């Protein structure tokens, strides 16, 4: 069959016939050609098919535009909003419970992570003595006051405390060692802290401080619960221990659910 | 801004060009039409997304029918769109779940005035036409689709940054001939035509 590739004039005729813009006479002539000339007929159907193909492109373009309009005119898309509105109450309840659990869990996680330093601050605080009118401030108290008021750094404070010699009159040296032990704890220098606690040994309650200091050191260094429990035991076994209450609190903390989960 | 009447919307679509796009935007963003179709789909084995898809498909069919003069002025656009959406969904359900054939009698359309078979293009044929189109090139596709949407040659020239209307006209003829040649070379013979 001889297919005709339509020229511009024939394409105009096809358009006119297809859109019904031909007069009756031309329309009849055109219909006659369609019926009698297979090549012409094939060519016209090629034209119709080309319109059909372009219609696919038009549909695809319109679909893409509607997706764009959906985003622009219907923020979030009606479908999204619809889906949210149609969530059953149980899904909302589950989502709320999950959110609560996550928030609570996160708070507990932060609490577990910050506990070593928080516990040192709570159970082995570094505080200067408050002077009353007429009291003479000691050199040691001045050093500690500078530290707590942040006039001196931790390292500067340790250096100053180390200058207080054993031969210093009174118990300044032992008190200095006690402070040193607490500062070493904050630095995570457990061996130094233990030695300093030992040197403060003649002070009242120094043994108790050394024992709680050992517990705090193990926590600070991230030791296992079993090791920390081992250090807590001598304190828990003595109800009159100065740090018995602190030991019970620490015991509850490190043997609790959140500590087990996050450590 | 005053809301256009159905008749005005139909005329805007028929006139093509930017007016058509404005009318289609107006119809698409009409929450009444959307919600009605989506509710019908969600009440008949579909979900929200099926509903959204069906709204779009129905508008595409409506647009084509109006442009090709198959839309009749009786009734209103909303019920026309709803009828198309219903018909399309019914067909889709039948394809997906043939066993449900008898279970959605409430969806059956009675005496549809718009020859619903026109709504659907055979998938295989559509794929063949898409393959042909892809060989035509984007610029030609753009020119021919603007032409088919009744854009004037001046508008086509402006939109595609061509020198003038006569350049656009020449380009349109070239593209049309190119497409017809591709169709004639393809396996889409006359016997494939509906």
SS (H, E, C) chain B: CCCCCHHHHHHHHHHCHHHHHHHHHHHHCCHHHHHHHHHHHHCCCCCHHHHHHHHHHHHHHHHHHHHCCCCCCCCCHHHHHHHHHHHHHHHHHHHHCHHHHHHHHHHCCCCCCCCHHHHCCCHHHHHHHHHHHHHHCHHHHHHHHHHHCCCCHHHHHHHCCCCCHHHHHHHHHHHHHHHHHHHHHCCCCHHHCC
Give the Cα separation of B164 and A254 in Å (integer): 83
Residue A54 to residue B144, Cβ atoms within 8 A: yes
Q: Two tokens at A128?
A: 């200067």
* Same domain assignment for residues A37 and A132: no
* Same domain assignment for residues A163 and A108: no
HSE of A227, CA atoms in CB hemisphere, 13 A: 11
* Same domain assignment for residues A30 and A51: yes
Q: Per CB distance under 8 Å, which residues of A are interface residues toward B?
A: 3, 5-8, 11, 41-43, 45-59, 61-63, 65-67, 69-70, 73-74, 77-79, 82-83, 86
Give the Cα separation of B68 and A202 in Å (integer): 106
Residue B148 to residue A86, Cβ atoms within 8 A: no
Predicted confidence (pLDDT) per residue in B90-117, tens digit: 888 887 765 554 444 444 443 344 454 5
> Given this model, what pLDDT does residue B194 score?
42
Which domain-ending residue is among A186, A221, A239?
A186
Question: Cβ-count burial of B54 within 10 angstroms (0-12 exposed, 13-18 middle, 19+ buried)?
Answer: buried
* Same domain assignment for residues A94 and A166: no
Which domain-ending residue is among A141, A166, A186?
A186
In a domain, A157, yes or no: yes
In a domain, A202, yes or no: no
Residue B141 to residue A56, Cβ atoms within 8 A: no
Residue A57 to residue B25, Cβ atoms within 8 A: no
> Given this model, what pLDDT does residue A159 score?
92
Cα A259 off chain centre by: 19
Give the Cα separation of A263 and A254 in Å (integer): 9
pLDDT tens sequence for chain B (194 residues): 457 888 899 999 988 888 999 999 999 988 888 899 999 999 988 899 999 999 999 999 999 989 888 887 667 888 889 989 999 998 888 877 655 544 444 444 433 444 545 555 677 888 888 899 999 989 999 999 999 998 899 999 999 999 999 999 999 999 999 999 998 888 665 445 44
B28 touches chain A (CB under 8 A): yes
> Given this model, what pLDDT does residue A2 score?
62
Of A53, A66, A79, the CB nearest to B179: A53
Nearest chain B alpha carbon to A59: B60
* Same domain assignment for residues A153 and A104: no
> Model pTM?
0.54
CA-wise closest residue to A130 among A117, A149, A158? A149
* Same domain assignment for residues A130 and A180: yes
Q: Two tokens at A170?
A: 């009174």
In a domain, A200, yes or no: no
Residues with Cβ within 8 Å of A54's Cβ and at least 6 positions away in sequence, in order, are B133, B141, B144, B145, B148, B179
Contacts of B64 in chain A (CB under 8 A): 55, 58-59
> Given this model, what pLDDT does residue A180 score?
92
Q: Which domain holds residue A167?
A: 124-186
In a domain, A148, yes or no: yes
B121 touches chain A (CB under 8 A): yes
Angle at B89 between CA B86 and CA B93, to 5 degrees: 135
Q: What is the CATH number of domain B1-100?
A: 1.10.1740
Q: Two tokens at A216?
A: 């705090």
Q: Two tokens at B64?
A: 């084509």
* Separation in Å, CA of B126 to nearest CA in chain A: 8
Q: Which residues of chain A have pLDDT under 70?
A: 1-3, 73-87, 131-137, 202-203
* Separation in Å, CA of B36 to nearest CA in chain A: 13
Residue by residue, DSSP assigns A140-193 as HHHHHHHHHTTSS-HHHHHHHHHTS-TTSSTTHHHHHHHHHHHHHHHHT-HHHH
B91 touches chain A (CB under 8 A): no
* Separation in Å, CA of B97 to nearest CA in chain A: 24
In this structure, what are the phi and psi dihedrals at residue A169, rounded to the nearest 5 degrees? -60, 155
B100 touches chain A (CB under 8 A): no
In a domain, A248, yes or no: no
Angle between helix A206-220 and helix A89-123 axes, rounded to 10 deg:
140
Give the Cα separation of B190 and B194 in Å (integer): 9
Contacts of B48 in chain A (CB under 8 A): 79, 82-83, 86
In this structure, what are the phi and psi dihedrals at residue B121, rounded to the nearest 5 degrees? -110, 130
Q: What is the CATH number of domain B102-194?
A: 1.10.10
Contacts of B133 in chain A (CB under 8 A): 53-54, 56-57
**Domain coordinates in residue numbering, chain B:** 1-100, 102-194
> Given this model, what pLDDT does residue A50 score?
92
Give the Cα separation of A144 and A183 in Å (integer): 11
Return the residue matching tokens 């595409």.
B60
Whether the Cβ atoms of residue B142 and residue B160 lie closer than 8 Å to each other: yes
Return the residue matching tokens 């038009």.
A58
3-state SS string over A183-199? HHHHHCCHHHHHHHHHH
pLDDT above 90: percentage of residues in chain A: 27
Residues with Cβ within 8 Å of A176's Cβ and at least 6 positions away in sequence, in order, are A140, A161, A164
Predicted confidence (pLDDT) per residue in B29-41, tens digit: 888 888 999 999 9
Nearest chain A alpha carbon to B35: A78
Of B60, B141, B184, the CB nearest to A59: B60
Q: How many domains does chain A have?
A: 2
* Separation in Å, CA of B158 to nearest CA in chain A: 19
Give the Cα separation of A186 and A163 in Å (integer): 20
Residues with Cβ within 8 Å of A28's Cβ and at least 6 positions away in sequence, in order, are none
Of B24, B48, B188, the CB nearest to A79: B48
Residue B64 to residue A79, Cβ atoms within 8 A: no
Contacts of A7 in chain B (CB under 8 A): 177
In a domain, A253, yes or no: no
Q: Two tokens at B58?
A: 């129905």
Q: Two tokens at B131?
A: 């393959």
Nearest chain A alpha carbon to B147: A54
Residue B193 to residue A69, Cβ atoms within 8 A: no
Residues with Cβ within 8 Å of A104's Cβ and at least 6 positions away in sequence, in order, are none
Give the Cα separation of A12 and A6 in Å (integer): 9
* Same domain assignment for residues A39 and A99: yes
Which of B33, B175, B183 to mutate against chain A (most A CBs within 10 Å)? B183
* Separation in Å, CA of B66 to nearest CA in chain A: 13
């Amino acid at each position: 069959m001889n297919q005709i590739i339509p020229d511009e004039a024939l394409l105009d005729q096809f358009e006119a016939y297809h859109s019904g813009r031909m007069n009756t006479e031309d329309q009849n002539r055109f219909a006659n050609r369609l019926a009698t000339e297979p090549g012409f007929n094939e060519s016209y159907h090629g034209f119709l098919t080309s319109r059909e193909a372009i219609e696919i492109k038009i549909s695809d373009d319109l679909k893409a535009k509607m997706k764009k309009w959906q985003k622009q005119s219907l923020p979030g898309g009606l479908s999204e909003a619809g889906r949210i509105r149609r969530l059953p109450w149980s899904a909302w309840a589950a989502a709320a419970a999950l959110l609560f659990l996550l928030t609570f869990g996160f708070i507990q996680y932060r609490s577990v992570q910050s506990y070593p330093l928080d516990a040192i601050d709570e159970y082995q605080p570094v505080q200067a003595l408050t002077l009353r009118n007429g009291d003479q401030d000691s050199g040691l108290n001045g050093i500690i006051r500078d530290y707590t008021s942040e006039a001196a750094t931790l390292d500067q404070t340790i250096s100053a405390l180390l200058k207080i010699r054993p031969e210093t009159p009174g118990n300044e040296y032992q008190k200095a060692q006690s402070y040193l032990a607490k500062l070493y704890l904050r630095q995570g220098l457990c061996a130094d802290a233990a030695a300093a606690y030992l040197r403060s040994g003649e002070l009242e309650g120094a043994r108790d401080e050394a024992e709680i200091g050992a517990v705090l050191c193990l926590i600070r260094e991230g030791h296992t619960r079993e090791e920390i429990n081992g250090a807590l035991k001598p304190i828990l076994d003595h109800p009159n221990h100065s740090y018995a209450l602190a030991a019970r609190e620490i015991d509850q903390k490190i043997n609790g659910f959140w500590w087990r989960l996050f450590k | 801004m005053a809301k256009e009447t159905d008749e005005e919307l139909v005329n805007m679509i028929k006139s093509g060009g930017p007016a058509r796009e404005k009318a289609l935007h107006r119809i698409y963003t009409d929450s009444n039409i959307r919600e009605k179709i989506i509710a019908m789909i969600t009440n008949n084995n579909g979900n929200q997304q099926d509903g959204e898809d069906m709204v779009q498909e129905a508008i595409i069919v409506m647009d084509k029918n109006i442009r090709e003069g198959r839309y009749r002025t009786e009734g209103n656009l909303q019920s026309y769109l709803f009828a198309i959406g219903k018909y399309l969904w019914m067909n889709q359900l039948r394809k997906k779940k043939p066993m449900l054939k008898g279970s959605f009698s409430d969806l059956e359309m009675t005496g549809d005035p718009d020859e619903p078979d026109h709504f659907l293009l055979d998938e295989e044929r559509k794929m063949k036409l898409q393959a042909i189109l892809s060989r035509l090139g984007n610029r030609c596709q753009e020119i021919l689709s603007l032409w088919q949407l009744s854009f004037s040659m001046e508008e086509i020239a402006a939109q595609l940054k061509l020198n003038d209307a006569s350049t656009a006209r020449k380009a349109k003829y070239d593209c049309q001939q190119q497409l017809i040649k591709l169709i004639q070379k393809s396996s889409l013979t006359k016997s494939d035509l509906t």
